[in-house]
């Protein structure tokens, strides 16, 4: 069983949802991003999503797009991903890399899979690679024991929910509302409807992303999902901080609040 599957089995046994936290590598700088990822793990995040900064992040809203811009201006390189992966794995959480497809393609799909596995990574989440185009990646991932997480959306047809979920390992990423990443004041019903529809197709755990920013929202989503994914709200902790130390404090506080949320009695 993969590291991700093990964590999700454990949290299910504990009668709670898992907390998945996203941060991009290189924001505010390389060391700062790694320190923040480790702080998340120490404060209750179960699985870390490590974002690869990319010049054309067309699924991301302004907060994450800005962080990617800064990371690239800082000279963040693709190889830095593996440094972050090693640090997260060392801190004791599965490290899933979230990346647009072209950086992996340019690095070489097989070479990327080999190097990710060697660094102790858990797998990939691919927001612009659907399983239909992912044959080479799935083979490379299987060979290395890496998870391949794909996304489902409210607009997915029943047929696509079936084919996409059957291509997922680790978990299924339910992009809960139509739109790009970013905190929303209301999580809405769309997430629960999507999770219900997805469950009819698969026994693989389902984690919900896009929009969660508070402990209360995390608790709300945890009532029906196997995992709660938080991204922009965590990135904002770093973006809004007056100093690196303040940023880490904010990351710890929000992680703890979210971790309490996913543990609230269902």
Partner 1 sequence: MNDQPSTSAAATGGPQAGRFGDYGGRYVPEALVAALEQLDEARLKARIDPAFQGELERLHRTYSGRPSILTEVPHFAEHAGGARILLKREDLNHTGSHKINNVLGQGLLAKRMGKTRIIAETGAGQHGVASATVAALMGLECVVYMGTKDTQRQALNVARMRLLGAEVIPVSHGSATLKDAINEAMRDWVTNVGTTHYAIGTVTGPHPFPEMVRDFQRIIGVEARAQVLDLVGRLPDAVCACVGGGSNSMGIFHRFIDDESVRLIGFEAGGHGVGTDKHAARFSTGVPGVLHGAYTYVLQDEDGQTLESHSVSAGLDYPSVGPEHSFLRDSGRAEYRPITDTEAMDAFSLLCRTEGIIPAIESAHALAGALEIGRELGPGAVILVNLSGRGDKDVDTAARWFGLLDDEQPDGLEQR
**Residues that are catalytic:** 49, 60
Q: Which residues bind partner 1 (CB under 8 A)?
A: 54-59, 61, 65-66, 69, 72, 77-78, 101-107, 127-130, 132-133, 150-157, 160, 164, 175, 178-180
- Using DSSP bridges, classify how beta strands 95-98 and 47-51 pair: parallel, antiparallel or unpaired: parallel
Q: How far is the CB of 194 from partner 1 (least distance, A)?
A: 11
Closest approach of Cβ 23 to partner 1, in Å?
A: 19
Give the number of C-alpha atoms closer than 13 A to the C-alpha of residue 122, restricted to the C-beta side.
Answer: 28
Least distance from partner 1 to the Cβ atom of residue 99, Å: 9
When the beta carbons of 129 and 208 are compared against partner 1, the nearer one is: 129
Q: Which is nearer to partner 1, 77 or 143 (CB)?
A: 77
The residue (of 160 and 252) whose beta carbon lies closer to partner 1 is: 160
Q: Which of these, 92, 70, 95, lies nearest to 81 by C-alpha position?
A: 95
Q: How far is the CB of 189 from partner 1 (least distance, A)?
A: 15
10 Å CB burial of residue 53 (0-12, 13-18, 19+) is buried
In angstroms, rounded to a whole number, what is the distance separating the alpha carbons of residues 199 and 180? 23
Question: In which residue are the tokens 């320190």 written?
Answer: 35
Question: Which helix (H) or strand (E) is 47 found in, with range?
Answer: strand 47-51
Report residue 229 CA to chain centroid gap: 6
Task: Work out how close the CB of 177 gets to partner 1 at its nearest, in angstroms, rounded to a whole number.
Answer: 9
Phi and psi torsions of 209, nearest 5°: -130, 175
- Of the pair 103, 244, the CB lying nearest partner 1 is at 103
Helix residue ranges, H only, 213-243 = 215-222, 232-239
Residue 185 CB contacts under 8 Å (≥ 6 apart), including other chains: none
For the stretch 75-78, contacts whose Cβ atoms lie closer than 8 Å and that sit 24 or more positions apart, written own/partner, are: 76/25, 76/26, 76/30, 78/52, 78/103, 78/107
Considering the complex, state which of residue 82 and residue 255 has its C-beta at the smaller distance from partner 1.
82
Question: Which has the closest alpha carbon to 190: 179, 200, 201?
Answer: 179
């Amino acid at each position: 069983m993969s590291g991700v599957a093990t964590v999700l089995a454990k949290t299910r046994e504990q009668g709670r949802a898992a907390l998945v936290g996203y941060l991009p590598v290189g924001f505010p700088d390389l060391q700062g991003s790694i320190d923040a990822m480790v702080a998340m793990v120490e404060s209750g995040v179960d699985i870390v999503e490590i974002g690869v900064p990319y010049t054309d992040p067309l699924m991301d809203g302004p907060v994450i797009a800005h962080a990617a811009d800064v990371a690239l201006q800082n000279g963040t390189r693709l190889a830095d991903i593996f440094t972050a992966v090693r640090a997260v794995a060392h801190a004791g959480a599965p490290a899933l890399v979230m990346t647009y497809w072209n950086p992996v393609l340019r690095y070489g799909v097989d070479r990327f899979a080999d190097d990710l596995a060697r660094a102790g990574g858990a797998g990939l989440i691919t927001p612009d690679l659907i399983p239909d185009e992912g044959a080479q990646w799935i083979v490379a991932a299987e060979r290395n024991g890496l998870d391949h997480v794909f996304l489902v959306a409210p607009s997915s047809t029943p047929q696509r929910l079936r084919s996409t979920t059957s291509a997922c390992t680790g978990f299924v990423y339910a992009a809960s509302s139509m739109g790009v990443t970013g905190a929303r004041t209301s999580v809405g019903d769309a997430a629960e409807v999507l999770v219900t529809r997805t469950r009819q197709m698969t026994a693989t755990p389902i984690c919900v992303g896009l929009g969660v920013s508070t402990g209360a929202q995390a608790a709300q989503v945890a009532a029906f999902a196997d995992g709660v994914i938080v991204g922009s709200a965590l990135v904002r902790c770093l973006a809004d901080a007056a100093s690196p130390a303040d940023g880490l404090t904010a990351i710890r506080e929000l992680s703890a609040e979210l971790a309490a949320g996913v543990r609230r009695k269902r």
